[in-house]
Chains A and B, each alone.
Chain A
């Protein structure tokens, strides 16, 4: 699995570090990480996209795969360090209006105010 996860803020926030490419293969991993996190009642998720240069539709699908579950449990999925190509993809699909995006992982983690 090319994704790395760690917990911040005393384990309340899960930070998911994405690889360079999030396409059909990686998207499944991202879905599983998100599902596993929410099943452990971790609803504050930060997706660190510093390394990510390419994402396809399945990657986008994975990003939003737990968005309703997190928000209905007072949580959220937030993005950090999103690069231009991915930002454009988010704008194209209107997902930029869904995600809060931060310049650093720390500000994304802190935005949860826990």
Chain B
């Protein structure tokens, strides 16, 4: 695999990727460039006013200097050659996983993950998104007790570093909230004045008017304010997600500064990409929806300014499970906010296409997707530790279409999570189901081979679309629903959070007769084919073809325009006979194409390429 990964047998530390354990203050101290200072000051002034901005900037400057002093000369040298348009390439494929989805005997889960990566990811997946691996109190890691420690049940910082030798790493910045069991919150309860403004508090639970409450957009139906007993009496605290997840108050500049410092600590610990979790809700203002506020965007941009100055190799990805148009606002102008956003509309649209045997909505939406800039792109995932969000398509699919999609998910053994609309009504927020079960019915009498073909066909779409593809680990082997866990844990998301025993999983993955082996082979094939092709670079042009409702087709053209790949996915269980005019593909009147997945050749005749696709067949035709 062309990446930072080296083999277990011959581990090699690329010094340009590892920070010094201690700062070196004998070298010249980092000087904040004038334009960086201006950019940061402008944002701080908007957020906190002139006087506070000056104070806060001094601390940011200090944090940046400390960070820079941790850089080895090799890293500083390497950063000089950094081309932001090559930050992501066709070689990038991200695996999303909890640190302990696979467990072994006598090994820490992060060691098991390293074994799994060595054995099954080489030559394919080059980036690991390890979901929050910090000590936590609930929400499977997203209620963090200590931002700076590794959960000892998972491993140590040394284990994270060992993974960094093999892969690029993506860490979570769960900065919207902190655990009620954290020291920071305990200090608040203890009435430590330093922490009084770390959280948004009210004297009573009813302090927010009904009118204001109705405006606030939240993905949960729990109470917004949670009462706590403090040294100073009862206080009600803003909790967007759950009573255990206490929102941090970014109106307090000390919170912002602390988080900026933690971000850079993550970078020093190995993060190449930082995922800003639930960032939509970062800044709250009564009288507004409390989502996507200008202040929230400014905080992200400020983090970006800091990275651009002292950690230019590191990218920000925003996780905003909201309608597509709002989601892509997190790109900013393409150069000043997130370098990558979750392409949240993709999973429900691919699911809808396969459920209905019609790519109409997917094709129309994909046709409108634009390249934001050479430095920003989409994260094309289909599944993750959460469910399939439906809010992102509320302006693309009708209410009835979304409802029918949700009902079909129920038929496939999944569940639905709801959100409070603020007016006493609820609507589906996400569909909880594994991707394999969403695409296939377990009680169907179809052959396993057909179901695997359908699954791989659906996954292939995320592999070819403009952006960087992501795969949730259980989808590498076609994991089915774990409905028992939903009942046991009382949480619908548990359906897709099953943990696996290392020995039995490896056995299944190595057994040619098992479904897990067949799925992983199919996934490996499309991943390896993708990473070889310049036409799949995130910045390669994308042209969606509207050929037939029963296929999804697009043409990708490499940045240097020398390579062109026509991808066609048959989304139904019928044979497709297609005649595509070569002028639709671009280039010459007569073309010769090789399917890079099967090696088969196709030749046009009289300006028409005739294709015959079997049920759920995928063709990636490299044409010349």
Contact = CB atoms under 8 A, between A and B. Distances in A.
A67 B418 contact: no
A66 B426 contact: no
B483 A67 contact: no
A69 B492 CA distance: 23
A94 B416 contact: yes
Interface in A60-114: 60-61, 64-69, 71-72, 89, 92-95, 97-98
Given A94-B417, A94-B418, A94-B492, A89 B411 contact: no
A71 B410 CA distance: 12
Contacts of A36: none
Contact of B413 (A61, A72, A89, A97): A61
Interface in B398-427: 404, 407-408, 410-411, 413, 415-418, 426
B9 interface: no
B410 A64 contact: yes
Contacts of B206: none
Nearest to A66: B411
B483 A68 contact: no
B477 to A, nearest CB: 21
A93 B411 contact: no
Give the interface size class of chain A. Answer: 20 to 34
A31 interface: yes
A69 B411 contact: yes
B408 A68 contact: yes
B489 to A, nearest CB: 10
B484 A68 contact: no
A9 interface: no
A23 to B, nearest CB: 11
Interface residues of B, number: 18
Given A57-B487, A68-B408, A93 B415 contact: yes
Nearest to A60: B483
A89 B443 CA distance: 22
Contact of B416 (A56, A69, A98): A98
Contacts of A69: 411
Which interface residue of A60, A64, A89, A98 has the most chain B CB atoms within 10 A?
Answer: A64
Contact of A97 (B411, B426, B484): B426
Give the interface SS of chain A, mostly helix, strand, loop or mixed. helix
Contacts of A58: 483
Contact of B487 (A68, A89, A97): A89
Interface string A43-66: 000000000000011101100111
A68 to B, nearest CB: 4
B368 interface: no
Contact of B404 (A61, A65, A72, A95): A72
Contacts of B484: 56-57
Nearest to A98: B410
Contacts of A98: 407, 410, 416
A31 B444 CA distance: 11
Contacts of B410: 64, 67-68, 95, 98
Contacts of B486: 57, 92-93
Nearest to A63: B410
Given A56-B484, A57-B484, A97-B426, A68 B407 contact: yes
A83 B483 CA distance: 21
A24 B326 CA distance: 44
A56 B492 CA distance: 14
B490 interface: yes
Which interface residue of A31, A93, A97 has the most chain B CB atoms within 10 A?
Answer: A93
Contacts of A89: 487
Interface in B477-491: 483-484, 486-487, 490
Contacts of A92: 486-487, 490
A68 B413 CA distance: 12
A65 B407 CA distance: 9
A31 B443 contact: yes
A72 to B, nearest CB: 6
B411 to A, nearest CB: 5
A26 to B, nearest CB: 14
Nearest to B491: A92
B487 A93 contact: yes
Given A31-B443, A57-B483, A89-B487, A68 B411 contact: yes
Given A61-B483, A92-B486, 8 more contacts: A31-B443, A61-B413, A64-B407, A64-B411, A66-B411, A72-B404, A92-B490, A94-B492
Interface of A: 31, 56-58, 60-61, 64-69, 71-72, 89, 92-95, 97-98
Q: Which 5 A-B pairs have the closest CB atoms?
A: A57-B483, A68-B407, A64-B410, A68-B408, A61-B413
22 contacts: A57-B486, A58-B483, A60-B487, A61-B413, A61-B483, A64-B411, A65-B411, A66-B411, A67-B407, A67-B410, A68-B404, A68-B408, A68-B410, A69-B411, A71-B407, A93-B415, A93-B486, A94-B415, A94-B416, A98-B407, A98-B410, A98-B416
